[in-house]
Amino acid sequence: MPFKVEKVTLGDILPYRHLFLQEINRQVRYNATHERRWSDSYLLYADDTVIGYGSVNGQEIPDRDTLFEFYLLPLYQHLASRVFPYLLSASGVQYIETQSNALLLTTMLYEFAVNIHAPVILFEDGPHTNLPPPAGVTFQTRQSFEALYGKQKESDSGYVLEKAGEEIGNGDFLLHYNKPFADLYMEVKESHRQQGLGAYLIQELKRVCHAAGKIPAARCNIENKASKATLLKGGLQVVGLMLIGEVKK
């Protein structure tokens, strides 16, 4: 069976990428890479029939040195190990990067790459929590906070933890991921850490995220034990890892 790889425009892969998003059904970390035109797109053929696509971005944008998406239609997924070398050759990538819950590309990573490591932990919505607010602390919108206490230049986040008129923490959720997934982020002032504020902030950000009709997710560096503990305590759970390896020579 002859295979072919063709470099195409983003629009050419979108019907197949829609199927990929349906299949993974989780937040895709590099979703916005396509919209920002930071990716190259390839269609994959077997016997002149389109069977899937691959996408390439760069560890150092705008260089295109990393394969980060790979999808085959279900009927052709058994051909993955046969067509994948053609995609590597056509794109000339040096690295393969994937989230571990993207099973097809994860399988290819372990077959075609070496020196594989996991720099980032991925989180998804987890159990409901009912953490009480720490003494004297309120969670509110930045708009409400500034109406009461005047504009402060701590951050541009949409939500604030306030204590005695001071912004001691802030956070929000980002919406440039695949719908309906959103990405939570937060920060607590160093002088107020290790008091349970971060977990409470994550819990409340989850609440407003759900109210907006979105599904919360998050990530942190695998070495950041404090962030991992905060995200877990605030009601998220580990769903996977970001994996990266070097293409075998």
Tell me the whole-structure pTM to 2 decimals.
0.92
Q: Are residues 207 and 229 in the same domain?
A: yes
Answer whether residue 26 is part of any domain.
yes
Domain final position from 92, 120, 148: 120
Q: Are residues 136 and 83 in the same domain?
A: no
Answer whether residue 93 is part of any domain.
yes
Which CATH number belongs to the domain containing residue 220 in this structure?
A: 3.40.630.30
Q: Are residues 134 and 221 in the same domain?
A: yes
Contacts of 182 (CB under 8 A, 6+ apart): 27, 173, 174, 175, 209, 212, 214, 215, 216, 217
Answer whether residue 247 is part of any domain.
no
Q: Are residues 87 and 34 in the same domain?
A: yes
Tell me how far apart the terminal alpha carbons of the chain are, to the nearest angstrom. Answer: 25
Q: Are residues 47 and 148 in the same domain?
A: no
Per-residue confidence of the chain (249 residues) as pLDDT tens digits? 799 999 999 999 999 999 999 999 999 999 999 989 999 999 999 999 999 999 999 876 668 899 999 999 999 999 999 999 999 999 999 999 999 999 999 999 999 999 999 999 999 999 999 999 999 999 999 999 988 888 766 678 899 999 999 999 999 999 999 999 999 999 999 998 989 999 999 999 999 999 999 999 999 999 999 999 999 999 999 999 999 999 998
Q: Are residues 192 and 214 in the same domain?
A: yes
pLDDT score, position 154: 67
Answer whether residue 125 is part of any domain.
no
The boundaries of the domain holding residue 155 are 130-233
pLDDT score, position 226: 94
β-strands 40-46, 166-174: how paired? unpaired
- Grouping H, G, I as helix, E, B as strand and the rest as coil, residue 142 is helix
Q: Are residues 13 and 63 in the same domain?
A: yes
Q: Are residues 72 and 18 in the same domain?
A: yes
Answer whether residue 246 is part of any domain.
no
Q: Are residues 72 and 8 in the same domain?
A: yes
- According to DSSP, the residues that pair with 71 across neighbouring strands are 53
Q: Are residues 83 and 177 in the same domain?
A: no
Per-residue pLDDT tens for 91-146?
Answer: 999 999 999 999 999 999 999 999 999 999 999 999 999 999 999 999 999 999 98
Q: Are residues 57 and 100 in the same domain?
A: yes
Answer whether residue 225 is part of any domain.
yes
Domain count, the chain: 2
Domain final position from 87, 120, 153: 120
Domain final position from 120, 151, 173: 120
Residue pair 218/27 in contact by the 8 Å Cβ criterion: no
Q: Are residues 49 and 88 in the same domain?
A: yes
Compute how many other C-beta atoms are within 10 angstroms of the C-beta atom of residue 208. Answer: 18
